[in-house]
Chains A and B, each alone.
Chain A
Amino acid sequence: MNRKLCLLQNGTSVPRAAVPALSRDEFLDELLSALEQGWRAVSYFGVPEGVFLKLYCLLSSRGDATLGVMSTVVTTRIFPSLVAFAPQLHLFEREIAEQFGVVFEGHPWPKPVRFQNPVATPPGRKPELPERVGIMDFYRVEGSEVHEVAVGPVHAGIIEPGHFRFQCFGEEVLHLEISLGYQHRGIEQMLRGGPHPVTLKQMETVAGDTTVGHGLCYAMNVEALAGARVPARAHAIRGIASELERLANHTGDLGAISGDVGYLPTASFCGRIRGEFLNLTAELCGSRFGRGLLVPGGVNFDVSGELAAKIGQRLLVAREELANAVQLLWDTPSVMARLEGTGEVSEQTAAEIGLVGPAARASGLDRDTRRDHPYGIYSMSQIPVVTAKSGDVYARSLVRWLEIEKSLDFLQEQLAQLPGVAIQYPIGPLGPDRIAIALTEGWRGEICHVALSDERGRFAHYKICDPSFHNWTGLAMALRGAQISDFPLNNKSFNLSYCGVDL
């Protein structure tokens, strides 16, 4: 393999100058040929450099735990789109277009992502202000019997805002278009010149249900830029918090899926047991969501032998109760009839659009950052990856349950053998003019943060990619040909983040 990429590993940094700056055509050729050979686009984003725009593409090769990065300078307003050949790039190109006013020639779906103000505007051009949020050219199906259903931004429950536009023929959904941006808080813009004192708090709330997943990515980037080490004990505690986060959310999702097919016993039981996992996280650090636990260089709170034993004991009880609650789903024919065959996403579609996390694994894609690009404790202690075949709501539920079992095994193992004493090492200044890359496997899937430092060692640019950025398209595809009344069930089976995309 003779790639033009700069190769590096998860959680490391290299000088920015080491990232090859290819010509436009070289860049596009390299990107396409890498994707053809099984690499996957992890992130693809623009960075203003002087008066020019530089595009960075980050690719992942599963087999050898390697990441590759390359760049190209955009000197013209028009740039060729690769979406027709690589659909997994489609939202990345839309994001670059929205942030920098680049026109991706040949993009089949050139629409806003967040309706955000431009990050930078090419010289000599006026900044193009976005339309009001939600105002865009929605795809429409014509026909006398076709009707349109619009939902959101405010939803019926306590749910984040987003707009869904369905094209229906009777009950059948011909197409679902998802328009986000309502949660846009300007996080990446606020990071410029950082890290600031509030930066870690903002990273914990990129998607607040994934506090540990995003917080850890950020901590890894700061550590990589500073060349800092993390004590083994802190790695273990971070792993414990990550898996507790996964347990709480997977359990909540199984309960919510159960509720959406009208099966209340499991919905009720899981709703409570989810709380137990959150309460265990609060035993670690005082916050049910893991706020305040992570810090670059380690963790803020130790786990004593006594606390480890207490958590281990409560996990045993929770495991038994949860197994009992979830088994009801598989044993109840009326539940299984609603889960099986609903919202299918084929393995081919999942691979083409670049799904990640449980949604990808439910469609048969064998990808998990904890194994593919191991970091922290997962470099020492592996968690087996589980996949399913059918790609339907059942598969997405089953994968969650199997992952719960694996996480519980991992937790008992870690709690019984916490290594070392130190939980935090000091962090020095960040190295200047470097690029750091951190990937973690959040409960929704791969989270990617890329940090570029400037000549003073401050953030010149910081790019966040939540797994939902890859996966919202999966929900739209799952709805093709489905009944509109199955939307809530399909939606729960993906349970994607709005704020994680809107940033």
Chain B
Amino acid sequence: MFKAILARVKQGHRTMRYPDGPIILPERFRGYPLLEAGACPPDCRLCADACPVGAISCAPKLSVDLGKCLFCPDCVEACPHGGISYSTDHRLAVNRREDLLVGAGDEQRLAQALQAKMLKLFGRSLKFRSVVAGGCNGCEADTNVLSTIGWDLGRFGIQFVASPRHADALWVTGPVTEHMREALLLTYEAIPAPKLVVACGACAINGGPFIGSPEVHDGVQDLLPVDLYIPGCPPHPATILDGLLRMLDKIK
């Protein structure tokens, strides 16, 4: 017991101040894309051709679909003109699928707060039931991280619970394999209404690296109504938390 107390003193208080304080991400972190269409020579498609999942379009203007993007370095390396790069801005989550399409010159779109009635219900207590529907354990790991002392998701009234009957919302990761489709839909049904759905990660949004496989459904969008899309492969915990806090109107 004495040793545990000493260790506790040594380890210190380690919960980050975010969202009240800044969050410092590594220099090489790839967050919100920076698109400089002015740098692109006419008919250049180097970045679009380099993208392994077809997330980039060059016409009618340079744009990236953050729902498909794996945030890999391939496009940046392919572009010798500086037309595309990634900032360390971790704020990526949005409410609508179409808001994930980021075009050159567009204003950055962020997740909006729930409507007043839903906010009254869930603003101070939101319980999730997680279904892993073919995920690689990347999104799952970085969702789990939010419950560690560094992030302490519980301080915002958000928690992952062990039964859909105790939940207000469904947390989906993975591209929805055919083998998990039924379990996913049954879990959704078992959550009492009104309920929310979060699609966490490129797989759950649009299939991620498995897009087009006959064994998967390319994400949850054709199966369930989604209230929050969190891009990334996997999303950084800061991206996940930012999306959740915006949805619950805890960050303006």
A-to-B contact residues, CB < 8 Å: 115-116, 133, 153-154, 156-161, 181-187, 189-190, 196-198, 200-202, 204-209, 211, 252, 265, 268-269, 271-272, 274-275, 278-279, 282-289, 291-292, 300-301, 321, 324-325, 327-328, 331-332, 497-499
Contacts and interface: CB of A to CB of B under 8 A. Distances in A.
Contacts, number: 192
B132 interface: yes
Nearest to A270: B148
Interface string B194-232: 000000000000001111011110000000000000000
A183 B138 contact: no
Nearest to A134: B179
A328 B11 CA distance: 12
A198 B148 contact: no
Contacts of B130: 157-159
Given A160-B137, A292-B72, A324-B11, A185 B210 contact: yes
Contacts of B11: 269, 321, 324-325
A68 B183 CA distance: 42
Interface stretch (B2-10, B97-105, B112-120): B2-10
Contact of B136 (A186, A200, A206): A206
Contacts of A183: 132, 134-135, 174, 177, 179-180
Please indicate which of the listed interface residues A161, A181, A187, A211 has the most CB atoms of chain B within 10 Å of its own CB: A161
Nearest to A269: B11
Contacts of A198: 52-53, 209, 211
A286 B28 contact: yes
A257 B186 CA distance: 31
B142 interface: yes
A324 B149 CA distance: 17
A259 to B, nearest CB: 10
B179 A115 contact: yes
A201 B53 contact: yes
Given A159-B140, A186-B215, A328-B4, A271 B52 contact: no
A462 to B, nearest CB: 14
A115 B180 CA distance: 12
Contacts of A204: 209
A115 B177 CA distance: 12
A265 B177 contact: no
A200 B52 contact: yes
B179 A184 contact: yes
A287 B71 contact: yes
B33 interface: no
Given A183-B179, A197-B50, A289-B138, 9 more contacts: A157-B162, A158-B132, A183-B174, A185-B134, A197-B51, A205-B233, A286-B29, A328-B3, A332-B3
A181 B134 CA distance: 10
A202 B210 CA distance: 7
A211 B210 CA distance: 15
Interface in B155-180: 160, 162-163, 171, 173-175, 177-180
5 smallest A-B Cβ distances: which pairs? Answer: A208-B136, A208-B138, A271-B148, A156-B162, A186-B215
Given A184-B179, A185-B210, A289 B234 contact: yes
Contact of A499 (B71, B136, B163, B215): B136
Contacts of A497: 137
A286 B30 contact: yes
B127 interface: no
B132 A161 contact: yes
Please indicate which of the listed interface residues B52, B71, B77, B163 has the most CB atoms of chain A within 10 Å of its own CB: B52
A271 B149 contact: yes
B51 to A, nearest CB: 8
Nearest to B200: A158
A154 B138 contact: no
A279 B138 CA distance: 14
Contact of B213 (A190, A200, A265, A282): A190
A301 B142 CA distance: 23
B224 to A, nearest CB: 15
A499 B137 contact: yes
B145 interface: yes
Contacts of B145: 271, 275, 278
Nearest to B139: A208
24 contacts: A158-B144, A158-B171, A160-B137, A182-B179, A183-B180, A185-B175, A185-B210, A185-B215, A189-B214, A197-B50, A201-B209, A202-B209, A208-B141, A272-B148, A285-B28, A285-B73, A289-B234, A292-B72, A324-B7, A327-B3, A328-B7, A497-B137, A498-B137, A499-B136
Contacts of A153: 180, 183
B28 A158 contact: no
Given A208-B135, A291-B72, A182 B141 contact: no
Contacts of B17: none
A185 B137 contact: no
B19 interface: no
A328 to B, nearest CB: 6
B131 interface: yes
A282 B73 CA distance: 13
A154 B179 contact: no
Nearest to B72: A292
Given A160-B140, A208-B141, A300-B73, A272 B177 contact: no
Contact of A158 (B50, B136, B143): B143
B252 interface: no
Contacts of A181: 179
B70 A182 contact: no
A156 B131 CA distance: 9
Contact of B233 (A282, A291, A498): A291
A153 B177 CA distance: 13
B57 interface: no
B21 interface: no
A164 to B, nearest CB: 14
Nearest to B151: A275
Contact of B216 (A160, A161, A186, A209): A186
